[in-house]
Amino acid sequence: MIKAGDGVMIGLSGGKDSLLLSLALASLRKRSPVKFELRACMIDQSGGAMETGAVLGYMAELGIPVTTITHPTYQIMKEREERSPCSLCANMRRGMLANAARAAGCSVLALGHHKDDAAETVLMNLFYGGRFKCFHPHLYMSRTQIRVIRPMIYVEERSIRLETERLALPVTSSCCPFGGATKRDEAKETLARLMAETPELKSNIIHALKNMRESEGWPGGMLNG
């Protein structure tokens, strides 16, 4: 996913996923024979209400410079009475991150999506869009000329949560006004119920994605976006 000379921009939310991703990439940078640069971009989509001090201090300890952007995403969604706030928020955030990466001279955008995110996204697309589809762990966006990578795609959310707790990482609470009442939350609850009877369900979903034919939109036997 990372090539020699790459400039990698981390999408930093302040949550457990992006903090552990930052730590993992900082550790990789020290040990890998492949030399690459790291930066991060933190977007305060609450318009300025987010507490960022602890996270920025942590990133400074890792030696990762951070660009901060303040944007009224949540206010925009409220005013629009957005029916799919997660989708709009993700698209706006990804666009801002890609622009920040280009402005910083980075060609790679690293995101902290994990195995549970992938399985939940499949369920959301299946239930509400009539498609068996997910994001790609390694995708080139031709419009922005940025490669998007998701290095933790095979890591379960529970493992990430336990590790961030063990390391006492400075996880920042989400300011999202839609938290707990979104389609993604419903998909998460549905997945949990199904896994009570089929514990291997997440792995089966990932396996199904990997084995879909190229003609069905899953090139190279990988997850697709």
14, two tokens: 């302040």
The per-residue pLDDT for 164 is 97
**Does residue 22 sit within a domain?**
yes
pLDDT digits (tens, 9 = 90+) for 171-195: 987 767 676 667 888 899 999 999 9
**Does residue 46 sit within a domain?**
yes
Residues 99, 69 contacting (CB under 8 angstroms): no
pLDDT above 70 for 24:
yes
The per-residue pLDDT for 34 is 95
**Does residue 157 sit within a domain?**
yes
pLDDT above 80 for 200:
yes
What distance in Å separates the CA atoms of residue 2 and residue 125, rounded to the nearest whole number? 29
pLDDT above 60 for 220:
no
Residues 172, 15 contacting (CB under 8 angstroms): yes
Mean of the pLDDT values across residues 150-167? 96
**Does residue 118 sit within a domain?**
yes
Domains held by the chain: number: 1
The CB density around residue 213, as the number of other CB atoms within 10 Å, is: 9
What distance in Å separates the CA atoms of residue 114 and residue 138, rounded to the nearest whole number? 13
**Does residue 1 sit within a domain?**
no
**Confidence bin at 215 (pLDDT 50/70/90):** very low
Q: Are strands 37-44 and 108-110 parallel, antiparallel or unpaired?
A: unpaired
What distance in Å separates the CA atoms of residue 221 and residue 37, rounded to the nearest whole number? 29
- The enclosing domain of 167 has a CATH number of 3.40.50.620
**Does residue 2 sit within a domain?**
no
Q: Measure the CA angle with vertex 46, ends 140 and 97; round to 5°.
A: 15
pLDDT above 90 for 72:
no
Range of the domain at 214: 7-221
**Does residue 161 sit within a domain?**
yes
Mean of the pLDDT values across residues 98-109? 95
**Does residue 172 sit within a domain?**
yes
pLDDT digits (tens, 9 = 90+) for 30-55: 999 999 999 999 998 877 778 889 99
